[in-house]
Amino acid sequence: MKILALIFFQYCLFSGSYYASAADTLAPAQSLRNGSTLVSPGQIFELGFFSPVNSNKYYLGIWYKRLPDTVVWVGNRENPVIDSHAFLNISSTGYLFIFDGQNTMIWSANSSRSANNPVAQLLDSGNLVVKDEDTDEETESYLWESFDFPTDTQLPGMKIGRNFKTGVNLYLRARKGVNDPSPGDFTYGIEHNGLPQFFLRAGMKKRFRGGPWNGIRFGGLPPQEGPLTVCVFVFNTEEVYRSYEVVDKSVIMRFTVNESGLLERRVLYENTSEWTTMFTLQNDKCDDYAQCGPNGVCKIKQRPICECLEGFIPRSEREWRELNWTGGCVRSTPLDCRKREGFLQVENVKLPDLLDFKLDNRLNLEDCRAECLKNCSCTAYARSNYNGSGCLMWFGELTDIREFIVEQFDQNIYVRLPASEVELHSNKEDLELPLFDFVTIASATNNFSDSNKIGTGGFGLVYKGELFEGQEIAVKRLSSNSRQGVEHFKNEVAMISKLQHRNLVRLLGYCIKRDERMLIYEFMPNRSLNYFIFDETRRNVLTWPKRFEIIMGISRGLLYLHQDSRLRIIHRDLKTSNVLLDNELNPKISDFGIAKMFGGDQVEAKTKRVFGTYGYMSPEYAIDGKFSVKSDVFSLGVLLLEIVSGKRNRGFNHPDHYHNLLGHAWLLWNDEKAMELMDRCSEDSCVEEQVVRCILVGLLCVQKHVEDRPTMSCVVRMLDNEEIATSLPRPKEPGFYVERSSGDTNAVGLHTQPSTENALTLTQEEGR
Ligand SMILES: *[C@@H]1O[C@H](CO)[C@@H](O)[C@H](O)[C@H]1NC(C)=O
Ligand SMILES: *[C@@H]1O[C@H](CO)[C@@H](O)[C@H](O)[C@H]1NC(C)=O
Ligand SMILES: *[C@@H]1O[C@H](CO)[C@@H](O)[C@H](O)[C@H]1NC(C)=O
Ligand SMILES: *[C@@H]1O[C@H](CO)[C@@H](O)[C@H](O)[C@H]1NC(C)=O
Ligand SMILES: *[C@@H]1O[C@H](CO)[C@@H](O)[C@H](O)[C@H]1NC(C)=O
Ligand SMILES: *[C@@H]1O[C@H](CO)[C@@H](O)[C@H](O)[C@H]1NC(C)=O
Ligand SMILES: *[C@@H]1O[C@H](CO)[C@@H](O)[C@H](O)[C@H]1NC(C)=O
Ligand SMILES: *[C@@H]1O[C@H](CO)[C@@H](O)[C@H](O)[C@H]1NC(C)=O
Ligand SMILES: *[C@@H]1O[C@H](CO)[C@@H](O)[C@H](O)[C@H]1NC(C)=O
Ligand SMILES: *[C@@H]1O[C@H](CO)[C@@H](O)[C@H](O)[C@H]1NC(C)=O
């Protein structure tokens, strides 16, 4: 483009009057003619007439003084002057006019109000303003400013957005061509029909969508803050707009929509004269609006890039094969709204366009789900606000969903599926349990910080957390890479969500993020039983009455599992670390990761993969993989003896013999010295008859032969009822009572070599 100003400069330099054009203001008596320009005070921007290359049209424009080729604003882009004698002047009322050589008005910029002493000034921000010299600079608002009439460039400090009161819409409009600054097809601005979204349109057609504002960001735009820039976003009842500021004033920056619709922020450093692209908003094909049609998801790393949402199939198989995705997808099974429908979580995506939708700012994610489920035509829901509550519900088709490449934001959508599909995708099952989203859990646990870690288990880590409302939770984060973790999760959820008992820990909900699964429990402030019972000092808290209560509580919990609930559940991993204590030290059985449900009249099962914990497993389970309610009873017996004695069965040491705790208890019993098993600390408070009864029941529970062990209902009756105590059977020798020969700390009379065929997988006892 040829810049008249430059030519004029050369002329000026020759004539020695260089400063002639250095003014930054234009007053009513003056005019700006083809050769002269205004230059902003800091020599940053310049205003004047320019004519594009190979063109005889003249435009009033603003460009960088350093880079005259980069025009950032054009006044009369729709009304070029075909006359080099055109000039700009300002009327005494403050209107800007462009006249051609014949004094015909070509263009005007009308001020909002009249002024006594108007003057046009080009500011260092690149804003051409009309102001009243008579008003105080501080309080003045401009009569007119070019920032209110953006062309294809958003400079720092310039707003893009809408004023709801005045109806003014500030948006960018691309030029027609590189050498044609007249208005092109592409526009970029904020649209607002509930939540603000940025749209690039070509004419009326949507071409790119920035995703709805989610309280923190536009959930479809790359992060735009950086060391050099600060983003400003204002959204209230009066207006919605976005602008940005440059931190370092020596850096020149601009955001543009180019003639082909590319949106980018570019920067010019002081030391170069080349623009550098900081970022572009569109980066791949998945950014094209509705690339995959209705109900399709665009995944840029896949080939082909389009796939249907789960539960959907291509509308036309043929078109889809030909990589024509415009037809999108339809449901493989229609929703019928009667049977038990559910939702499938689609993670890390740009939320679909807000076409037919409802926004409810009061609902949290869980209520959102319930609300969506209530209305048969609700097809999906999502969290609308990551900075508070808010619910988006879609009705009808889901358009323009893309998967993000990098995890920019934990933005998920929950797509409604008929019952049959929910089952089909049961590895991401929709459970009858509250679903927590990852952001909530991450913020509750300070991003899973070490200081929130309260335990390590065989299947993952446990964190303490606090929800927004102040409720304390325990989050078990299952190892994402382990298949066991997934199994554990499914099992635990399936079991425990159906159970309710005061001696079972309560599962509050779950959270799924990609391959990772988390279980959210009520928080138990007093940790687990092993933390107290095996500790020299903490043990003192557990007086005999408290211990007896704990024993009764665990027994009732187990009784419920075995026969009082709707199901029959074998826990398989009962141990002190799986008995949690609430604020009153009431016991709650936890960890149903390897529990098994028995149907109908099933009494026993056999497994090739033995999971459990040394010291608590019954012989038939550890050796043959056989488990039943009676293998749980064995573990309970161990627990009982541990609670009474304050010693671990595993690793028990006695100077006189090589027996473990079970053997030791049995020896004492036979010598009628059972009371010696009692841990000294709580002797004072103990009720001897109760202690002896607990030891006896404990020994009966750990009998070697399954048929010699009582059922849980018997156990509870025996513990509860003093009368029967005297008529109880004499215990025979316990199973696994001979401890190590020497030095071997693992084996409790069983082989631990895992073979491929008969893997024996044992978890070490660890605190929660
Ligand atoms: C500016 O206008 C003058 C006439 O007023 C004309 O002679 C001159 O050629 C013009 N300059 C350019 C660069 O067109
Ligand atoms: C514009 O400025 C020219 C030259 O100063 C003057 O002759 C003309 O009257 C002005 N026109 C208007 C509308 O102010
Ligand atoms: C601005 O003022 C001029 C002259 O008074 C008038 O011809 C024109 O229509 C006005 N434009 C607008 C948008 O009001
Ligand atoms: C969240 O909302 C509060 C109040 O509405 C606001 O002050 C805060 O800046 C917001 N946080 C973010 C990250 O937007
Ligand atoms: C505009 O963007 C397109 C990409 O869509 C690019 O090929 C072209 O070079 C850009 N034009 C300019 C002038 O930067
Ligand atoms: C110019 O300055 C920028 C920022 O200070 C720096 O990153 C860049 O390397 C420099 N470029 C040259 C060519 O010196
Ligand atoms: C793609 O399919 C649509 C119908 O879904 C059709 O209208 C369009 O012409 C097809 N495009 C091409 C390039 O075949
Ligand atoms: C379901 O939602 C749609 C859209 O908001 C609404 O028109 C319809 O009345 C609702 N149906 C019921 C049963 O609430
Ligand atoms: C958690 O991580 C996110 C993103 O990494 C960060 O924005 C946030 O400030 C972090 N929150 C806490 C409490 O550390
Ligand atoms: C158990 O937890 C409650 C509540 O946090 C606490 O007040 C109490 O001191 C704890 N008891 C023991 C023995 O630590």
Q: What is the pLDDT of residues 585-615, one digit of tens each?
A: 999 999 887 888 887 677 788 877 777 788 8
In whole angstroms, give the CA distance from residue 12 to residue 345: 69
End-to-end CA distance of the chain: 72
432 pLDDT exceeds 80?
Answer: no
Report pLDDT for 646: 92
213 pLDDT exceeds 80?
Answer: yes
For ligand 3, atom 2, which residue shows the shortest CA distance? 110
Say how many Å lie between the CA of residue 216 and the centre of ligand 4: 7
E strands, 529-642, in order: 568-570, 579-581, 587-589, 596-598, 604-606, 626-628
Nearest ligand (C-alpha, residue 261): 5
Nearest ligand (C-alpha, residue 228): 6
Cβ 331 under 6 angstroms from ligand 8: no
Cβ 449 under 6 angstroms from ligand 5: no
Cβ 108 under 6 angstroms from ligand 3: yes
Report pLDDT for 176: 93
Say how many Å lie between the CA of residue 390 and the centre of ligand 9: 20
Q: What is the mean pLDDT of residues 716-741?
A: 75
Say how many Å lie between the CA of residue 82 and the centre of ligand 1: 13
For ligand 10, atom 6, which residue shows the shortest CA distance? 583
Q: At 547, is the secondary structure helix, strand, or coil?
A: helix
CATH 2.90.10 fits 150-283, yes or no: yes
For ligand 3, atom 10, which residue shows the shortest CA distance? 110
Report pLDDT for 382: 92
Q: What is the mean pLDDT of residues 429-445?
A: 75
Cβ 337 under 6 angstroms from ligand 8: no
50 pLDDT exceeds 50?
Answer: yes
State the average pLDDT for the chain. 84
Say how many Å lie between the CA of residue 312 and the centre of ligand 8: 23
Cβ 258 under 6 angstroms from ligand 5: yes
For ligand 9, atom 5, which residue shows the shortest CA distance? 447
Cβ 408 under 6 angstroms from ligand 9: no
- Which are the catalytic amino acids? 573
In whole angstroms, give the CA distance from residue 442 to residue 453: 13
Residue 85, H or E segment: none
pLDDT tens-digit profile of 696-719?
A: 999 999 999 999 999 999 999 889
* Amino acid letter, 414: Y
The residue ranges of every structural domain in the chain are 1-147, 150-283, 287-425, 438-522, 529-725
Which residues are annotated as part of the binding site for ATP?
476
* pTM (predicted TM-score): 0.64
210 pLDDT exceeds 70?
Answer: yes
Report pLDDT for 56: 87
Cβ 110 under 6 angstroms from ligand 3: yes
Ligand 7 atom at minimum distance from 326 CA: 5
- Residue 449: name the closest of 479, 457, 441 by CA: 441
Instruction: Please calculate the CA angle 753-462-764 and round it to the nearest 5 degrees.
Output: 20
14 pLDDT exceeds 70?
Answer: no
In whole angstroms, give the CA distance from residue 174 to residue 156: 18
401 pLDDT exceeds 80?
Answer: yes
Q: What is the CA radius of gyration of the chain?
A: 38
For ligand 6, atom 11, which residue shows the shortest CA distance? 271
Report pLDDT for 379: 93
CATH 3.30.200.20 fits 438-522, yes or no: yes
Q: What is the mean pLDDT of residues 258-268?
A: 93
pLDDT tens-digit profile of 445-478?
A: 999 999 999 887 667 889 999 987 778 999 998 8
Say how many Å lie between the CA of residue 314 and the centre of ligand 7: 13
Say how many Å lie between the CA of residue 353 and the centre of ligand 8: 19
Report pLDDT for 748: 34
pLDDT tens-digit profile of 519-571?
A: 899 999 998 999 999 998 898 889 999 999 999 999 999 999 998 777 789 99
Cβ 653 under 6 angstroms from ligand 7: no
Pocket test for ligand 7, best of 320, 326, 399 (most atoms within 8 A of CB): 326
Pocket test for ligand 7, best of 316, 319, 321, 399 (most atoms within 8 A of CB): 319
Strand pairing category for 196-202 and 180-192:
antiparallel
Q: What is the mean pLDDT of residues 482-494?
A: 73
How far is residue 27 from each of residues 129, 142, 558, measured CA to CA in Å? 12, 15, 92
Cβ 452 under 6 angstroms from ligand 9: no
Say how many Å lie between the CA of residue 311 and the centre of ligand 8: 23
Report pLDDT for 137: 65
423 pLDDT exceeds 70?
Answer: no
> Which is more confidently placed, 680 or 243?
243
Residue 760 — pLDDT band, cuts 50, 70, 90? very low
In the chain, % of residues over pLDDT 70: 88
Residue 741 — pLDDT band, cuts 50, 70, 90? very low
4 pLDDT exceeds 60?
Answer: no
Report pLDDT for 354: 93
pLDDT tens-digit profile of 330-371?
A: 998 888 877 678 888 888 899 999 999 999 999 888 889 889
In the chain, % of residues over pLDDT 90: 41
- Token duo for residue 222: 């790359």
Cβ 475 under 6 angstroms from ligand 1: no
178 pLDDT exceeds 60?
Answer: yes
Please, which residues bridge with residue 161 across strands? Answer: 170, 241
Nearest ligand (C-alpha, residue 4): 1
Report pLDDT for 116: 82
Q: What CATH superfamily classification does 529-725 receive?
A: Transferase(Phosphotransferase) domain 1 (1.10.510.10)
Nearest ligand (C-alpha, residue 256): 5
Ligand 4 atom at minimum distance from 387 CA: 1
For 287-425, CATH number?
3.50.4.10
* Amino acid letter, 664: H
CATH class of segment(s) 1-147: mainly beta
> Which is more confidently placed, 420 or 672?
672
How far is residue 482 from each of residues 454, 459, 504, 541, 633, measured CA to CA in Å? 21, 8, 26, 38, 30
